[in-house]
Amino acid sequence: MRKENEIYIFQKGFNYSQDGPGNRLVYHLAGCNLKCPWCSNPEGMEITKNATPVTIEAIVKEAISCKMMYFDGGGVTLTGGEVTCQKDSVQSLLEQLRENNINSCIETNASLKNCKEIFEVVDYMIADFKSPDPEKLKEVTGADIEVIKENLFFRAQTGKPLLIRIPLINDFNNGKKNAVLFADFFKKLYEKSGNENLYFEILTYHEFGKEKYEKQGKIYTIENGFVSPEDVKILAEEIKKNNLNLIHT
Ligand code: SF4
């Protein structure tokens, strides 16, 4: 049975720059509410399967003991799976990291309701925006685009850093029509929030999860998700045309 003061973790380690600023201690939290067929961590989909419960106290103690390692503005990152699936424990952990002056970051799909306390307290937030097409997004991942948009507006309006990542995938969200819709939403987000710490990044499709799916006896359903340099250019140009901060971590 899950306990309030525990967090289920299926992987941890240090990483530089791709999971938030600087050098970071990264915890992969188990459990996800979506079903993206390209997921690179299918082993972390269920909270209690393949994961170890660790007390918040133990994580904070470990995070404090690693302070010397957080160079270049680093700290602790919680990623997944989907961190908000363990929201009460995550919120408590983020508050304790703050009390101990440790920079915090989460990577989230931003698709769950009632997580605003987390989106407010965390120092740096990385969120996916997978498709601007509500039906396609729902059909492929199970996510409700309106919930995601509301969460992203909420975070943007705090003025704190928000990095939005687009996993660019052939036959899912590439092409000019999608690029225009992506940029339209990002522009609205920037104009409505006035957040100067809003960043965007394009991640091109990869198949890091394919072997893991097959090892678990699951079928990997994407047949040709790789995008061309032209696909990347189309989306990058739409984002830059709107004077938005396109970055590469
Ligand atoms: S939201 Fe992330 S962790 Fe969840 S299924 Fe999609 S890619 Fe995997």
195-242 per-position pLDDT tens digit: 999 999 999 999 998 999 988 888 899 999 999 999 999 999 999 999
**Residue 181 falls inside a structural domain:** yes
pLDDT of residue 17: 87
Which atom of ligand 1 has the smallest separation from the CA of 42? 8
Pair of tokens at residue 145? 């685009």
Torsional sign, CA 215, 221, 226, 231: negative
**Residue 225 falls inside a structural domain:** yes
Domain count, the chain: 1
Confidence class of residue 125 from pLDDT cuts 50, 70 and 90? very high
Ligand 1 contacts (CB < 6 A) are: 32, 34-36, 39, 41, 80-82, 109
The DSSP bridge partners found for residue 165 are 128, 201
Ligand 1 mean position to 68 CA, how many Å?
31
Mutate to test the pocket of ligand 1, among 10, 79, 141 (most ligand atoms within 8 A of CB): 141
**Residue 160 falls inside a structural domain:** yes
Q: What is the pLDDT of residues 65-95, one digit of tens each?
A: 999 999 999 999 999 999 999 999 999 999 9
Ligand 1 mean position to 63 CA, how many Å?
25
Beta-carbon count within 10 A of 116 CB: 13
Report the distance separating Cα 20 and Cα 124, nearest Å. Answer: 7
Which atom of ligand 1 has the smallest separation from the CA of 143? 1
Ligand 1 mean position to 81 CA, how many Å?
6
| Nearest residue to 23 (alpha-carbon basis) of 79, 68, 75, 100 | 75
Q: Rounded mean pLDDT of 39-62?
A: 94
Q: What is the pLDDT of residues 154-163, one digit of tens each?
A: 999 999 999 9
Residues of the domain holding 137? 6-246
**Residue 1 falls inside a structural domain:** no
Query: Strands 104-108, 162-168: parallel, antiparallel or unpaired by DSSP?
Result: unpaired
Ligand 1 mean position to 184 CA, how many Å?
24
Name the closest-CA residue to atom 3, ligand 1.
Answer: 81
Is residue 213 within 8 Å of 42, Cβ to Cβ? yes
The CATH number for 85's domain is 3.20.20.70
Report the distance separating Cα 74 and Cα 93, nearest Å. Answer: 17
**Residue 142 falls inside a structural domain:** yes
Is residue 200 within 8 Å of 163, Cβ to Cβ? yes
Report the distance separating Cα 107 and Cα 148, nearest Å. Answer: 13
